[in-house]
Chain A
Amino acid sequence: DTGVSQDPRHKITKRGQNVTFRCDPISEHNRLYWYRQTLGQGPEFLTYFQNEAQLEKSRLLSDRFSAERPKGSFSTLEIQRTEQGDSAMYLCASSSGRKQETQYFGPGTRLLVL
């Protein structure tokens, strides 16, 4: 049983460029979450999918951010017109459909915006 995987692991980009991250959840998990973690802080919730439906978006997710999970399997998180303040670790997690089940995290994508 493979864990949650994320790609790429590291991304360096220039301000104003668009970036896209991918997350592959544990195969039988129908819930998928994105979190953002800045230096010295705990992860903060960004958005949540149950199957292909995006059920909640945090206020942290500005209009420049968009997330999709088109077939209820992998998910992508796109940031348009990146800003230096977007530099952070972007974490993906997945869980089964049971209520308040444990979330399992991927290794994260570390983004640096120059």
Chain B
Amino acid sequence: AQTVTQSQPEMSVQEAETVTLSCTYDTSENNYYLFWYKQPPSRQMILVIRQEAYKQQNATENRFSVNFQKAAKSFSLKISDSQLGDTAMYFCAFIITQGGSEKLVFGKGTKLTVNP
């Protein structure tokens, strides 16, 4: 089964501090892409960061970085210097290719609140 598990339904962090969101996944594929998407309240989902599974180097995007452990099937997101605008639902996902089509498989999300 192709699944994504986000074990932290809710988290909170003080402004300017660092927070790590956890994600584990299960797939039998060897080549796949992993994503973190952010969904602010009442706003559309936007891409935060992506990681190619064949790359050992962890992806970084400004204050956002990942810790990708392929053998453990773990893909955590670290947010440094948290800002109030980081308050949102965060979804971990991976893309699978089956029979010529591609689809994202999402976790249930982690609700992150950044407190002033």
**A residues bordering B, Cβ < 8 Å?**
31, 33, 35, 40-45, 48, 50, 55-56, 91, 93, 95, 99-100, 102-108
- The answer to whether residues A56 and B97 also contact, given A42-B4, A43-B104 and a CB cut-off of 8 A, is no
Task: Provide the main secondary structure of the chain B interface.
Answer: strand
Interface-lining segment among B14-22, B43-51, B60-68, B72-80: B43-51
Nearest chain B CB to A31 CB, angstrom units: 7
Which residues of A sit under 8 angstroms from B107, Cβ to Cβ?
42
B106 at the A interface (CB under 8 A): yes
In the bound complex, how far is the Cα of B108 from the Cα of A45, in angstroms? Answer: 13
Partner of A42, one of B43, B97, B99, B106: B106
Partner of A102, one of B35, B44, B100: B35
- Check B108 against A100 for contact (C-beta < 8 Å): no
- Check A102 against B43 for contact (C-beta < 8 Å): no
**B residues bordering A, Cβ < 8 Å?**
4, 31-33, 35, 37, 43-47, 50, 91, 93, 95, 97-109
- Check B105 against A45 for contact (C-beta < 8 Å): yes
A-B contact count (CB 8 A): 60
Which residues of B sit under 8 angstroms from A107, Cβ to Cβ?
43-44
In the bound complex, how far is the Cα of B9 from the Cα of A40, in angstroms? Answer: 9
6 smallest beta-carbon distances between A and B, as pairs: A42-B106, A56-B101, A45-B103, A107-B44, A105-B45, A55-B101
- Closest B residue to A44 by CB, please name it: B106
Partner of A100, one of B43, B91, B99, B102: B102
- Closest A residue to B104 by CB, please name it: A103
Nearest chain A CB to B36 CB, angstrom units: 11
- Check B100 against A55 for contact (C-beta < 8 Å): yes
- Check A100 against B100 for contact (C-beta < 8 Å): no
In the bound complex, how far is the Cα of B113 from the Cα of A68, in angstroms? Answer: 38
In the bound complex, how far is the Cα of B43 from the Cα of A42, in angstroms? Answer: 15
Nearest chain B CB to A11 CB, angstrom units: 16
